[in-house]
Amino acid sequence: MDSKGKIRLVVLVGAILLLGLGGCQWIQTGPTADFSISPHIVYATETFALNGTLSLGSTSIVSYTWTLSDGQSLVGQQVNTSIPFPGTYSVTLQVEDANGNVDQETRELVVYARSGTVILDEDFSDGEKALARWVLDPTWASASDAVIDYIQGGPGNALYIHSANSRWHRRYHAIEIPPLRVGQQVVFSCRIMALRNQDFHTFVFAPARADIGSLAGSLPYFLFTNEKDGSYVQVPTTFGTDIGHPIGYEPDVYRWHTYTFVFDQTSYELRIDDISWIEGPLNAPFSDTSVWTILIGEESLTETCNAYFDDIRVTIEE
């Protein structure tokens, strides 16, 4: 208290004064790791900055070490780096002060693909090598039920499925879908030409199966079948069943049609030859950075009810 009766307060910043039997002792607190990432939206292959200047300590911080879950290890208060592939990663900053005290902070980093990125572009141009990329589901069919056929005058090589028995011939290809930022969509498209001049013919384009052996968790798919008189969008349920939504579309024989599914994180749309036929909500979440399976197939009772598949594409769009 001073001569005017006022109390003076001494503020101790970053330390605590302890009185003990042996005298006075100062105990200093350790550092606190903190950082920022810029820009706020990070894209694969593009440079972004990690800034550790938000970290604080009662004594000087002498070491900044960054660890990224893709395997990178970087040193420095501010560093620039990039990640080659989209996905969800972790970033950890560890700081150490002059007294050897350490602290660390970990955050999630979502790396997006730019709109226009092509995930898959299959035109079967390399013949039998392409056929090998599309794995045969041996549940019903045999490998001899399909070949890569060359169509004169275009489009060139295409996958020709020509099963002559009452059994499915299904082939599939795994793809990894990157995280979607707000406004982005995944677009799956496939050109199909049906060679149908009798009854009992069915073909399918399933753009995203969660499990090749089950419908649970899968996304809507297109099915044409004579047995049920037309075209359907089948919407899988969480119980592993599906609900058929008929659409008034009849594919022409010996003519290519392009079937396109557009998905965002909560909804879908089917377009055929750029005409929208149906849209609706998804029953299963379209999760970020997940592996899905594209499935195509054909079933017929006669040799004349067959189908060609070509130009299967998956892209990220706005």
Domains of the chain, by residue range, sit at: 31-112, 118-317
Tell me which of 2.60.40.3880, 3.30.465.10, 3.40.50.2000, 2.60.120.200 is the CATH number of domain 118-317. Answer: 2.60.120.200
Closest alpha carbon to 112 in 51, 180, 45: 180
Q: Rounded mean pLDDT of 86-108? A: 97
pLDDT of residue 154: 80
Q: How far apart are CA 282 and CA 29, in angstroms?
A: 51
| Distance separating alpha carbons of residues 181 and 165, to the nearest angstrom | 45
The per-residue DSSP string of 238-298 comes to TTS-EEEEEES--PPBT--EEEEEEE-SSEEEEEETTEEEEEEE-SS---SSEEEEEEEEE
Q: So what's the pLDDT on residue 247?
A: 96
Asked which of 108-117, 150-159, 259-268 is least confident by mean pLDDT, the reply is: 150-159
Q: How many percent of the chain have pLDDT more than 90?
A: 68
Q: Which fold has domain 31-112?
A: Immunoglobulin-like (2.60.40)
pLDDT at 62 over 80: yes
Residue-averaged pLDDT of the chain: 87
Task: Give the mean model confidence (pLDDT) for residues 257-279.
Answer: 96
pLDDT at 2: 44
Q: Which of 96, 66, 102, 61 is nearest to 81 (CA)?
A: 66
